[in-house]
Amino acid sequence: MALLAVEQLCIDYPARRVVDGLGFRLEAGRCLGLVGESGSGKSQTALALIGLLPTGARASGSVCFEGRELLALPERERARLLGARIGMVFQDPMTSLNPYLRIGAQLAEVLMHHRGLGQAAALAESQRMLEAVRIGGAARRLRQYPHELSGGMRQRVMIAMMLLLKPPLLIADEPTTALDVTVQASILHLLAELRRDFGLALLMISHDLGVIADIADELLVLYGGRMMERGPVAAVLAAPRHPYTRGLLAARPRMDDPLDQPLFAIPGTPPAGGVAPGACGFAPRCASADGRCTREQPAWRRLEPEREVACHHAA
Ligand SMILES: Nc1ncnc2c1ncn2[C@@H]1O[C@H](COP(=O)(O)OP(=O)(O)OP(=O)(O)O)[C@@H](O)[C@H]1O
Ligand SMILES: [Mg+2]
């Protein structure tokens, strides 16, 4: 049984559908990368998984976590389950840390609340976890406030906080986007180590294929709230089958690009008002699109045992 199995997940707001028919599985200890441009539905998907969609949004389909259907659980039960079993790290750790409380108090609170530990034991365990995420001088850090730490260190504190309850699944939504590249690399390295040491499954969300290539086993490409392509990372990057994945790859800046050449960009912009039903969502921006692409939504189909794509033109 997969740790997490999502089927036909749709997220609707009164005026439009922002996620349309998502499905994927994540096994214990594995890492799935969710990529796509801004607005493709990555964060909405993450919020639906942890039951934190804003009011007005409605999620339908199936989200099965550790054998339980999350979308059918009453809200309170879901909150209790998810607080302990699914950790979530956001792009900006400052929005998740309380600026008025010392790091130690914030970490210890999690253990006192969920595990019923006393304060001294909770602080000791918090210190161990800060050490596990490679924060130097952990005892001293416990007494500091969030603003006394660098951005990369705050992100490590958030990761430590999420791991205190030893959840089997961590969802990371652009955890390194706000960091400079060397700090980004060290956080990715840390996540990879934690996966190994804690047997953690990771759902990694990024608009950056390089980040996903670094850390994920498998890749799922979204566009306009729909799945475009899925497969093992190395195989997809070596030979992308969907024109959108090819565009994303070609649009990555590379160190060896000649400086006088303009960067390739996918023409057009992502759909602001959602994708049209009964057509391929990417058709308006796709160089391979023909009449069929604007009349008929491509079915999600398997090309090889581990590779799936939604494109009329994928061979
Ligand atoms: N509260 C809301 N009401 C209506 N639409 C929303 C709401 N929140 C998000 N959306 C829409 O849902 C779509 C998906 O948004 P989402 O935040 O999931 O994108 P994303 O892939 O995470 O993008 P980014 O890379 O910019 O973080 C967007 O078009 C967005 O405008
Ligand atoms: Mg987002």
Ligand nearest to the CA of 34: 1
196-224 pLDDT tens trace: 888 899 999 998 898 899 899 999 999 99
Q: Where exactly are the structural domains of the chain? A: 27-58+74-94+169-309
Would you say 208 and 36 are in contact if contact means Cβ atoms under 8 Å apart? no
For domain 27-58+74-94+169-309, the CATH superfamily is: P-loop containing nucleotide triphosphate hydrolases (3.40.50.300)
- Which ligand gives the minimal distance to the CA of 207? 1
Mutate to test the pocket of ligand 1, among 17, 37, 42 (most ligand atoms within 8 A of CB): 42
The whole model's pTM is what? 0.92
Ligand 1 pocket (Cβ < 6 Å) reads 13, 18, 36, 38-44, 54, 207
* pLDDT tens for each residue of 21-62: 999 999 999 999 999 998 999 999 999 998 889 999 999 999
CA 144 to mean position of chain CA atoms: 29
What's 67's DSSP letter? T
Please count the residues of the chain. 315
Ligand 2 mean position to 208 CA, how many Å? 12
If you take atom 12 of ligand 1, which residue's CA is the nearest one?
A: 18
Phi, psi of 67 (to 5 degrees): 80, 0
Ligand 1 atom closest to the CA of 54, numbered from 1: 1
Are residues 25 and 71 in contact, defined by beta-carbon separation less than 8 angstroms? no
Q: pLDDT category, 151, cuts 50, 70, 90?
A: confident
